[in-house]
Structure 1
Amino acid sequence: MSEVLRVEDVHLVRDGRPILHEVSLTVRTGEHWALLGANGAGKSTLLGLCGALAHPTRGTVEVLGRRLGRVDLRELRAHVGHVDPRHPLTAPLRVRDVVLTGLTNSVAPLPRWQPTRNQRDRADRLIGTLGLADLTDARWPTLSQGQRGRTLIARALMPEPRLLLLDEPATGLDLPGREQLIDALGTLRREDPDLATVLVTHHLEELPPGTTHAMLLRAGRVLAQGPASQVLTGDRLGTCFDLPLVLERHDGRWTVRLKGRGRGRGRA
């Protein structure tokens, strides 16, 4: 499998405050990584480096074989799918039009730009894959949080990226919305087995069953990383979140609870 992302010994300092320390990560074609840690652990900051949104203070980052600092970041971002649930769109665009803005890497359609028939067809296929076929012409303000999240994933996939980055995509979703999102991610991975993904979360129940690898971050440092089955253990997760935890997995999905508590779902 070829590498789509390599982060080597990265340090990042912001406003005089260290955010990341000696972080390394390699993502290969078809791998699906989860970045987990408490709030402030550095997950979204690391994802921003992976998406060519910033430069490290020290260390190297290579995205799709191109090293940050030696390439135009704006041009590189066009080849990486980045899903941020805080997408700043306020205009009442239709779902199809929002998805098509993934081709121009803009919040709203560019003046005088028109998609080709093939591009429109691809947008409609992605909308169907994400379970939104009945909402193709629905307006952005009328969508639920979950529908918006799936629309943004379709948007990120329009340029046919090899790497898809998801920053807490289940933020604000109710239970049905979360499960529809997880199901849609599973469909994507089956339909595009070469696609690599990196998903940031601090809730294990939000991880899709297809998660292959995981990294635990604590205070900007890597606590553990590797195959998900080896990294996601109660002891390691407990150290990461500073809690005594029991971790279980059923049908590919994880649940977590405090040691000594009754069985049932908890949230780390």
Structure 2
Amino acid sequence: MSAAFDLAHVTVVRSGKALLDDVSWSAGPGDRWVVIGANGAGKSTLMQIIGTTIFPTSGTAEVLGERLGQVDVFDLRTRIGFTGTTVAERIPADESVIDAVMSAAYAVTGRWHEEYEGADIDRAAQILAELGIGSLLGRTFGTLSEGERKRTLVARALMTDPELLVLDEPGAGLDLGAREDLMASLEMLAASPDAPVLVLVTHHVEEIPRGFTHALMLRDGAVVAAGPLEATLTAENLSRTFGMRLQLDVVDGRFSARRAAFGHRAG
């Protein structure tokens, strides 16, 4: 696989408004990307492009070697893992955690009459254990905490052994402890040579796990900066992305940001 996706001059227009404006972006094997931007920056629209649920108004988008508009996207989507609130909302509250994970193999939510093999059960249990939530497999989805749900969704997205994994705001709504548990799971995933190409969407630099390699920063549907994480995620670029002077700090590989003090340069 030469590139997980390759977008060239992609624009998306809806009701006369450009949701994405001339975005070019590509990700290769082993890449772990974080996508950062304020509400309305175009992050969700961009994820829908690489998730093959919408097509560009103009420009070209190739995902896993296939050109959108020239391929059966239903087959292509089986090669992409996705986790977000839209998935969580479709999982029945009384669904067991193990079934919520295994049912991804059939691209369904809510186990019905599907027949699963022992290998499916073993794989789901292994993924849950690797994410530190193996003890939850007999619980029902509706009884889980928000943090436990988020990690279960990651396990579900990994069930089909995807080539591309999109994590859409996995830290949203989590308290500090749950966020740190999730970060530990994502750091382990990022460090695995067998993990798919990762794309994580967030508003907050504090939610960037160690091991992520690249950053894409969006504002008003356009790219502010894109490239290797250390060179791209700077106070200057972050300030441009959010439209205010921000200070960026890094401690032990984790980021934090705050408004720059008056009279002091964000550095």
> Considering the TM-score relative to the shorter chain, is it more than 0.5?
yes
Aligned equivalents of 2:215, 2:67: Cα separation in 1: 23
Change (3 A) 1:192 1:116: farther
Aligned equivalents of 1:92, 1:100: Cα separation in 2: 15
Paired letter, 1:134: S
Paired letter, 1:105: A
> Counterpart in 1 of 2:97?
95
Alpha-carbon contact 1:29-1:162 (below 8 Å) kept: no
Paired letter, 1:55: F
Change (3 A) 1:194 1:171: closer
Deviation of the 1:143 alpha carbon: 0.2
Alpha-carbon contact 1:3-1:28 (below 8 Å) kept: yes
Aligned equivalents of 1:194, 1:177: Cα separation in 2: 22
Deviation of the 1:150 alpha carbon: 0.4
> Counterpart in 2 of 1:45?
45
Aligned equivalents of 2:75, 2:16: Cα separation in 1: 29
Percent of aligned pairs sharing the same letter: 41
Aligned equivalents of 2:206, 2:190: Cα separation in 1: 18
Alpha-carbon contact 1:29-1:194 (below 8 Å) kept: no
> Counterpart in 2 of 1:126?
127
TM-score by length of 2: 0.94
Unaligned runs of 5+ in 1: 262-268
Alpha-carbon contact 1:5-1:50 (below 8 Å) kept: yes
Aligned equivalents of 1:114, 1:223: Cα separation in 2: 48
Paired letter, 1:98: A
Alpha-carbon contact 2:190-2:198 (below 8 Å) kept: no
Alpha-carbon contact 1:234-1:246 (below 8 Å) kept: yes
> Counterpart in 1 of 2:265?
none
Deviation of the 1:194 alpha carbon: 4.8
Computed over aligned residues only, the root mean square deviation of the Cα atoms, in angstroms, reads: 1.3
> Counterpart in 2 of 1:214?
215
Aligned equivalents of 1:255, 1:171: Cα separation in 2: 16
Aligned equivalents of 2:68, 2:84: Cα separation in 1: 21
TM-score by length of 1: 0.94
Unaligned runs of 5+ in 2: 263-267
> Counterpart in 1 of 2:166?
165
Alpha-carbon contact 1:96-1:123 (below 8 Å) kept: yes
Aligned equivalents of 1:194, 1:183: Cα separation in 2: 15
> Counterpart in 2 of 1:56?
56
